[in-house]
A and B are shown apart, each in its own frame.
Chain A
Amino acid sequence: MALDTSSPSRVSAKSAAPVFQKSRNPLVWIREHIISIMAFFAFVYLLLPNAVVILFSFNKPNGRFNYQWSAFSLDAWKNICGAPGICESLTLSLKIAFLSTLMATILGTMIAFALIRHRFWGRSGTNLIIFLPMATPEVVMGSSLLTLFVNIGIPLGFWTILIAHIMFCVSFVVVTVKARLASLDPRLEQAAADLYATEAQTFWRITFPLVAPGIGAAALLSFSLSFDDYIITNFNASPASVTFPMYVWGSATRGTPVQINVIGTIMFLLAVVIVGVGQLISMSRRRALK
């Protein structure tokens, strides 16, 4: 190194020139990277609240509201069910999300198969009815279900929430599974048939495994939609059936326990792990295919 000081310095002087020029004129640099800079700020905007939720799960607030940082503490993490009613509402939400996902995934997958694999009378009408719930504001769906239940005399509570959640999840399952089904190469099934597979064998050995990721994505989507729903749920719940979003809503006026942030953080990390594992599986599969 010491022997050869002159030549590298000359090289670095040469190569440093354009870099220097760039840094001398930041406006040029900004103009060249304007889209990436805007995208960066969009990500900050998108992810800032999640960062705040995680940060404030370690807070020890003064008073009932967890809006101002005061001191670091693990109290809420050690005692997740410490806030009265929070774990009851969490259990209820998980139960409803699980059952409505199960039902909506079955019903929606059946509809998706009918729509993609069959030509039948009433197909476009079916498509319209599937599309409508996704294009209707939640407050309209919630209030119309409430009028139905009140007029027929069905008591509000667990079952009415479940009915509503299955209803609004079905459409999302249909579009997700439909997209996956439509992207399948039909020649794979034809090949199976050419190799004397029966229809049932073709379905369970070829079609279903190929559609399974779509069904899984649909199930995840409907689980999160159900778990997260406030507006429709609020119209069809009773004081005895408080879901987790209803609990959070109520706490906005009563006082926000830190445990809300802890549960938010755990949900976030769980979802990141699930999505990460899913990505890894699909990557290794793609590599195996090559």
Chain B
Amino acid sequence: MSAFATLERMEEPHPAPPPSSGRQRGRLTPYILLLPGMLWLALFFLVPMIFLVSQSLQTGSVEDGYSVTWAFSTYADAISTYWVQFVRSFAYAFLATAAALLIAYPLAYAIAFKAGKWKNILLVLVIAPFFTSFLIRTLAWQTILQSDGLVVTVLDKLGIIQVLQWLQFIPNDQLIHSPVAVVTGLTYNFLPFMTLPLYASLERLDPRLLEAGGDLYATPWTAFRKITFPLSLPGVVAGTLLTFIPAAGDYINSHLLGSTKTTMIGQVIDGQFLRVLNYPVAAALSVTLMASIVVLVAVYIRRAGTEELV
């Protein structure tokens, strides 16, 4: 979500000022400035993580209380019961990320290179969906994907519904309550997070590089493949992470647009914590989700070779 920050950053790039600007300041000043905020993050982000891990290794019940028994079997049980939801969450998040990249790239490209004086207005339009609450917009997708709605009628006429049905992506002739609806919602909800970092990296691209490529007889396609795309890779990496991570943990879309056959891991964690009240299993699922995302992200960043994300 630091996409907003990248939007802010694009305005006027200046080199970072030299440390302390030559003036002597108290050595304690930075720590005094940091203390309240970092204390808050430590108490309510880091400490809860420790509690979560500890909870996952406890046995007991809500009534009788819990004690740490190093019950690693909880993890084995939780994963063997809910591995389907894990796989499904990562699959949906992957599909949504891929779709968002395919949609956002031309969008960011058009805003960066073709919009001219409309640039600022188009950027506002990209974040405009955020102005209405996430849940209300997802409910609006229920209306859009209604079986007798305009979208479904058009797709039906074009034969796309039939193709999706044949591919087993939708269980019957309606879109709502299908995996397609969930991925559509996920893609939609996180599309701005993909678009803004892409735009920020494309915007920084020096057009003279493309002219030089043209002078050296590169076709537009070759120039894109060898110049534009590689230079926009930091944006691609940032955008895919900002889409994939929240999409993998999201369950608003699968709850509102899906069915019991599209349950994602977030829904399971929510249910175990708040309805079943099985805290150890819920905590184990949460820790597993966090750990698998950390591993995936670490591998991905290493392979993509970009570390300047913060």
Contacts and interface: CB of A to CB of B under 8 A. Distances in A.
Interface of A: 34-36, 38-39, 42-43, 45-50, 52-53, 56, 66-68, 107-108, 110-111, 113-114, 116-120, 126-141, 143-148, 150-151, 163-164, 166-167, 170-172, 174-176, 178-180, 182-186, 189-190, 193, 199, 214, 217, 221, 224-225, 227-228, 230-231, 234-235, 244-245, 248-249, 252, 256, 260-261, 263-265, 267-268, 270-272, 275, 279
Given A143-B286, A186-B21, A245 B47 contact: no
Contact of A144 (B25, B146, B286): B286
A151 B45 contact: no
Contact of A131 (B44, B266, B310): B310
Nearest to A184: B14
Counting from the closest, the 7 A-B pairs by CB-CB distance are A137-B249, A186-B17, A271-B131, A39-B110, A107-B37, A144-B48, A118-B30
Contact of B290 (A45, A50, A136): A136
B252 A230 contact: yes
B140 A56 contact: yes
A38 B111 CA distance: 12
A193 B11 CA distance: 26
Contacts of B47: 148
A150 B279 contact: yes
Contact of B256 (A34, A128, A164, A252): A252
A178 B34 CA distance: 13
Contact of B4 (A108, A176, A193, A245): A176
Contact of B110 (A35, A127, A190, A275): A35
Interface of B: 1-2, 4-6, 8-9, 11-14, 16-23, 25, 27, 29-31, 33-34, 36-38, 40-42, 44-49, 51-52, 55, 103-104, 106-107, 109-111, 114, 120, 122, 124-126, 128-144, 146, 188, 191-192, 241, 245-246, 248-252, 255-256, 265-266, 269-270, 273-274, 279, 282-283, 286, 289-290, 293, 297, 309-310
A49 B184 CA distance: 12
Contacts of A252: 135, 139, 255-256
A137 B289 contact: yes
Given A50-B129, A126-B38, A248 B8 contact: no
Contacts, number: 302
Contacts of B297: 135
A132 B45 contact: yes
Nearest to B16: A182
Given A39-B106, A143-B286, A260 B139 contact: yes
